[in-house]
Structure 1
Amino acid sequence: MAFHEPDQGNLCVEITSSTTTTSTTFYHVQVTVDACQWLVEHRYSAFADLNSQLVSDKLIPLDLLPGKKIIGNREPAFVDRRRQDLNTYIKRVVALLQLNMPDVLAKFLELETYDIGWMLRRQAFFCFVHEGAYVGGQRQLQMTPMEVQGLTRLVREGRADSFFHESKLSTAPSQVVDVASQTPSLRVAGSWQPLARSNVRPHTYAFSLELFRSLRKLSLHDVPVSSLASLAALRDRLVELSVSGGAVRDVRDVLLCGELHRDAPAADARPLWTCLRHLALRDNHIRSVDETAAALAPQLTSLDVSTNAVEHIGYLAELPALRQLNLSNNCLTDVPDLHTRLGNVARLRLSQNRIGSLAPFARLFSLVQLDLSFNQVQEVEEVGRLRGLPCLEDLSLVGNPVTTAIDYRARALERLGPRAPHVTLDNEQSSQAQLDRVLVMQALRTAREGGPEFLRRGWHGRVVTIV
């Protein structure tokens, strides 16, 4: 972890090489803080601008920077000699200013990108500017795993104040600590890739959320859940939890984060998440949604397990408040006895799976919205299985083979029977002309099937006579 501590002199710089194009030469500055290294590229003009600012602020002598040459400045011998001179220059500047480094030099060395101390100084400025919005929940505090780890380390060691510069807005030295303890909403965003031109790997930083005592909403993005020490302290107050791109393989990995016995049967689990209403586990490696969520977080109203590898849906009927379930972009093919598994779900999203039959949805009587776009439904007759759903208002079959059938829309609506005028099909509300045509088709079907009624009253009081 890069942590520049001026009194220890642990910052080193070295111009290791250069790259010359047809018009420009870039000098490669290797910056090292303890075991962390990164590369910064600058033209001579950037060194000149840095020098001008430092001289203007009376921080360095006037004659440290090597002079500029106009003719022959891209000749290899000259470029190498200038590299050596600039190397001597930047080393002297860092030696002179390391104990009280100005912002202009820190930006030149890109410390704000790679060094935790400077990241936290920048975060302190944002916390001063947006303190009211952070604490009031109008704005979500955003940090990296490195920042969270660094902040926690400083607080534990009692050294937080020494790592925060006073800004032009008179930022309190430990402003970020105060905001962290009060903010109700936090997003921790990491990365599975090394930071550009460095050996800093954000996903390797383990961290704790012990400083965030007021959280109600937590979002972890591209952060391995294994890097998180525990979520136990948040279980009695967190309302919304999102873990995306966290290499999660089982719901237990999240809901039992910090527990020693994660593999205990769901039936033996006790409710731990007493306030949790919204759980999102998008873009992970989950293969099954089992009873764990019901056992550990019985108050859930929405569950999002989209973009995983789900092949099986367990028994979720013990989530009496669950109304929204998102299983889009998974590997579901057959979903038998769905009505016994899902309880009172009102909005069900299953787009981009491999589902071919609508039979499993025929008894989900609480359904208001059903998204089956981009699945494998082949026949228009399948739509008729949904005609008995009394609350259905929104049905999407976009991207299924059935939508290529001749006169698909009218035939699909006709199969919905009395629900046809109340259903938005494929994000399109039906016109009155379409509904009148569907009514005629339904009457014709009744006649063909030998029904007793050849005189049908329309949905809006119109009479349709079949001759």
Structure 2
Amino acid sequence: METSNVFRRILEVHSIVEDLSLRLGVLGEKWLEASLIKPKFFEFKPIELFALSERLKLAEPSFSASSNGNGEADIANYVEFLHKARALKIRGSSGYVNSSNILHNDLPVSLHLCKSLLALWIAHFDVKKIKNLTNVKKTCRRLIVHYSMKKLSDLLLNFNSGLFDEDLEKWNCIEYVDFSFNELIEIDNSITVLQGVSKLNFSYNNLRDIGESLQYITTLAELCLTGNMIRELHNWNLKLGNIKKLFLCKNKITSVQGLERLLSLEYLDLSDNIIAEPSCIQPIGKLPCLEHLVLRGNPIRQLIEYRTKVIESFDDRAAEVYLDGKRANQRELDTISVRLALKKIEKEKEEMQRHS
């Protein structure tokens, strides 16, 4: 029985690899050339990548016995395609492989043949099953992972030792990372291997805070945390360095306290939170670079003269700020000017009383 299972498995491996080798022998080069003009992801199932690894272990010729000798079904076609592919997508699926008791998403996948990847997309497949990423880390600029991860370290740490390796663990060329739609509950220190990344997307996870490690990614300019479980922003100015764009939509935030020293911040989206009073916005009124503030879907928008009360927080910069996509009109600016003048008079009176 055991021999029969092994034989059947070898036949399945041959069948899968021969089919792909034939297709790639006929069309692979055309697809690769077309992708240079119009970039696209080439999608593979885990079973297809697993079968190739198994086939390479067999002490057999690279072409099948049934091949007609034209080289189109040569396994080298498959290998060469992976060598040259610039964008690869791995899409997992539920259920079993054919009539076996092997789950599609339980199969280990090796990416050691991917030597030119600029973009990697993983969807519906446990990242713990992905091995041999050394070559990918040397070239990859865009990394996308959806519905595949519960811990960052499952993908970013060395699987064998569980320790950081200063040379192998860095993603040297990474620029953009999208970890949205996963089950992450924290941003652990393995994130620091993504040195050089400028855009990070953690939307629709289960995060309550951002941890302490993002401050070490000095190139980070844009961070998206939409649709998490964040309530407070305490000391975020210490946790984020030169951030320019911050998306915090669809959380449970009541105040921006903690962002008042993000001096590089230019764009802040707080849509669909529970900010209710203008005083909750005042801490960011002195930020010198902030030009765009979005508060759609917050209770504060129900207040009379909501716009003037919020924009007033920016004092002399009131005319420069876009609130919900619009700058203050002349009537709003006039109202703000009067209020600021009255505040200044009141402050001067208080100063005189203190010194009298």
Q: TM-score range by the shorter chain?
A: 0.7 to 0.9
- Unmatched 5+ stretches in structure 1: 1-7, 11-32, 37-110, 263-267, 453-467
What corresponds to 1:270 in structure 2? Answer: 166
Distance in 2 between residues matched to 1:450 and 1:351, nearest whole Å: 39
Name 1:310's counterpart in structure 2: 207
- Call closer, same or farther: CA 1:321–1:405 in 2, change over 3 Å: same
Q: How many residues were matched structurally?
A: 336
| Conservation of the 8 A alpha-carbon contact between 2:271 and 2:294 | yes
Work out whether 1:337 is the aligned partner of 2:257. Answer: no
Alignment partner, residue 146 of structure 1: 47
Q: CA 1:331/1:307 → structure 2, altered by over 3 Å: closer, same or farther?
A: same
Shift of 1:361: 0.9
Aligned pairs for 1:52-201 (under 5 A) are 118=19, 121-122=22-23, 125-134=26-35, 138-157=39-58, 161-162=63-64, 173=74, 174-192=76-94, 201=103
Query: Secondary structure of 2:223's partner?
Result: strand
Q: CA RMSD in A?
A: 3.5
In the alignment, which residue of structure 2 is the partner of 1:299?
196
Whether the aligned pair in 2 keeps the contact of 1:151 and 1:160 (CA below 8 Å) is no
How many Å apart are 1:363 and its aligned residue? 0.9
* Residue 378 of structure 1, aligned match among 269, 276, 297: 276
Whether 1:427 aligns to 2:325 is: yes
Structure 1 residues 302 and 150: CA distance shift in structure 2, 3 A: same
Q: Which has the higher Rg, Structure 1 or Structure 2?
A: 1
The equivalent residue for 1:355 is: 253
CA contact (8 A) 1:121 1:164 kept: no
Q: Could you tell me how far apart the structure 1 residues matched to 2:187 and 2:62 are?
A: 42
Equivalent-residue separation in structure 2 for 1:357 and 1:208 (angstroms): 46
Among all aligned residue pairs of Structure 1 and Structure 2, give the percentage whose two residues are the same amino acid: 24
**TM-score, scaled relative to structure 2:** 0.80
Using a 3 Å threshold, how does the CA distance of structure 1 residues 120 and 407 change in structure 2: closer, same or farther?
farther
Q: CA deviation at 1:191?
A: 2.5
Deviation of 1:217 after TM superposition, in Å, equals 1.8
Q: Looking at both structures, which has the greater relative contact order when contacts are Cα pairs under 8 Å and sequence separation is at least 6?
A: 2
TM-superposed deviation, 1:132: 0.5
Instruction: Deviation per CA, 1:193-241: give whole Å up to 9, x if none.
Output: 6699998853233211122111122111111112212323322332222
C-alpha distance in 2 between matches for 1:434 and 1:164: 80
Change (3 A) 1:229 1:447: same
2: CA distance between counterparts of 1:357 and 1:337? 13
SS at structure 1 position matched to 2:83: helix
Q: Residue 122 of structure 2 aligns to a residue in which SS?
A: strand
* Cα gap change, 1:355 to 1:297, in 2 (>3 Å): same
**Cα separation, 1, equivalents of 2:345 and 2:237:** 33
Tell me the CA shift for residue 392 of structure 1.
0.7
CA distance in 2, matches of 1:196, 1:416: 63
What one-letter code is carried by the residue in structure 1 that aligns with 2:107? Y
Aligned to 1:364: 262
Q: Which one-letter code corresponds to 2:155 in the other structure?
A: V
Contact 1:349–1:372 at 8 Å: present in 2 too?
A: yes
Pairwise CA distance, 1:407:
2.0
Q: Give unpaired runs (5+ residues) of structure 2.
A: 1-6, 351-356
Q: Give the Cα separation in 2 of the matches to 1:404 and 1:280.
A: 34
SS of the residue corresponding to residue 418 of structure 1 reads: helix
1:47 — aligned with what? none
Q: Secondary structure at the match of 1:414?
A: helix
Equivalent residue number for residue 300 of structure 2: 402
